[in-house]
Amino acid sequence: MLAVGALVSVATLDQLGALSPDGRRGRFDGLEACVVGVVDGRTLLLDIPDPRTGEPLVVRLWGVTPADDDAPTTALARMTLGETVTLRTERSRERDPQGRLLAHVIAGKDTVAATLVGQGLAAADGSIRHRDSERFAALELSARRARRGMWREAGADRARTP
């Protein structure tokens, strides 16, 4: 009887996306998909259906708070729209409170979030630790010191808190 219960539990976890073939990451880790829409400076739509809704999968970038203008959205669209990206998920958390998949989105050789932070188009959001937390903080500090993007105005590095 215990074996049957264990099989049911594993099957349930798999249906919820908690297991991948190696049993360590969710089903979206390593997934490659095409970006079909950019909602805002940290949210993408992919060409695959969300198993929970049947709608295009909505992905929120891990660890960033975009600037309060159109520049992050424009940059994100330029980097990703129509491109195939790779998702990397964290074991600690799969979705945000709005149900969006949380992922590190890789386009080319780096995450698009790192590019946005490095260009000063987004601030590092340290509210939830993730694999790139320290790196994003360093990229933000560099962008602030160089007065890139939203840090361009004198004193902006002290005034803006994500």
DSSP per residue, 98-133: TSPEEEEEEETTEEHHHHHHHTTSEEE-TTS--TTH
Residue 54: φ, ψ to 5°: 80, -10
Average pLDDT over residues 80-89: 97
Q: Is residue 2 part of a domain?
A: no
Q: Is residue 133 part of a domain?
A: yes
What's the confidence (pLDDT) of residue 20?
41
Average pLDDT over residues 95-107: 95
pLDDT at 19 over 70: no
d(CA 160, CA 162): 6
What is the extent of the structural domain holding 150? 25-159
What's the confidence (pLDDT) of residue 127?
86
Q: Is residue 88 part of a domain?
A: yes
Q: Is residue 53 part of a domain?
A: yes
CATH code of 125's domain: 2.40.50.90
In contact, 83 and 76? CB cutoff 8 Å: no
Residues 29-70 have pLDDT tens digits of 999 999 999 999 999 999 999 999 999 999 999 999 999 999
Q: Is residue 49 part of a domain?
A: yes
Q: Is residue 20 part of a domain?
A: no
Q: Is residue 3 part of a domain?
A: no
Distances (CA, A) of 10 to 16, 30, 73, 76, 162: 10, 21, 39, 37, 39
Number of domains in the chain: 1
Q: Is residue 92 part of a domain?
A: yes
